[in-house]
Amino acid sequence: MVLSATKIIDGRGHLLGRLCSIVAKELLAGQTVVIVRCDEVCVSGSLTRNKVKYAQFRAKKMNTNPGRGPFHHRSPSMIVWRTIRGMVPHMTPRGQAALKRLSTFEGIPAPFDKKERVVIPAALKVMRLKAGRDFTVVGDLAHAVGWKHRELLQRLEGKRKAESKDWFEKKKANMDKRKQAEKAAAGELEKVNKVLAEAGY
């Protein structure tokens, strides 16, 4: 990536480790990153296998006072955030500053639903995982280990997608009208375009 104001990454269909390693490097380089749709990030391996791994992780605790940590996050956005934290030197001022440049969300909340989103081809499941291999969606894993907001998220995402579809249909209609107008005015525009072409436009 090239440094820009803020990169908004659509997490859907990415592999967790590959996505997080690339994002961690960008954060340390000074890039501000927002990851949306963390609930649709994928992890290789079956759901059963990943539930067992999460159960082993959840068994790790401070013996005398478990309230002091480690803390086991159940929401997909925090699972992604913690994975990135493990790839950043978060005990140093540089690492802490890098983590402050990171935001993670389930779904696509406002204002990011109206902004351009990007993907990372090197981290996409279809590019990196052999067809037919088992994989787990982080949202399903989170729901299996105690995340309670999947239904709410599905409702909000359904509403967002419906609004997005309406907007896209209007955009297509406007594009069709523009093409028809250009076709109708093709004779008049021919002279104008010839002058512009001679001027180098």
Of 112, 104, 113, the C-alpha closest to 162 is 113
Distance CA 92, CA 90 (A): 5
Angle at 108 between CA 29 and CA 133, to 5 degrees: 80
Q: What pLDDT, on a 0 to 100 scale, did the predictor assign at position 194?
A: 83
Q: What are the b/e assignments for 104-127, b being 16+ CB within 10 Å?
A: bbbbbeeebbeeebeebeebbbee
DSSP alpha helices (H): ranges in the chain?
Answer: 16-29, 47-58, 76-85, 93-100, 125-128, 138-144, 150-184, 186-198
Pairing of strands 102-104, 7-10: unpaired
Any idea which residue has 């803390």 for tokens?
A: 71
- All residue ranges of the chain with pLDDT < 50 are none
- Residue 180 neighbours by CB under 8 Å, 6+ apart: none
At 49-80, the pLDDT tens digits run 999 999 999 999 999 999 999 999 999 999 99
160 in helix, strand or coil? helix
Q: What pLDDT, on a 0 to 100 scale, did the predictor assign at position 192?
A: 83
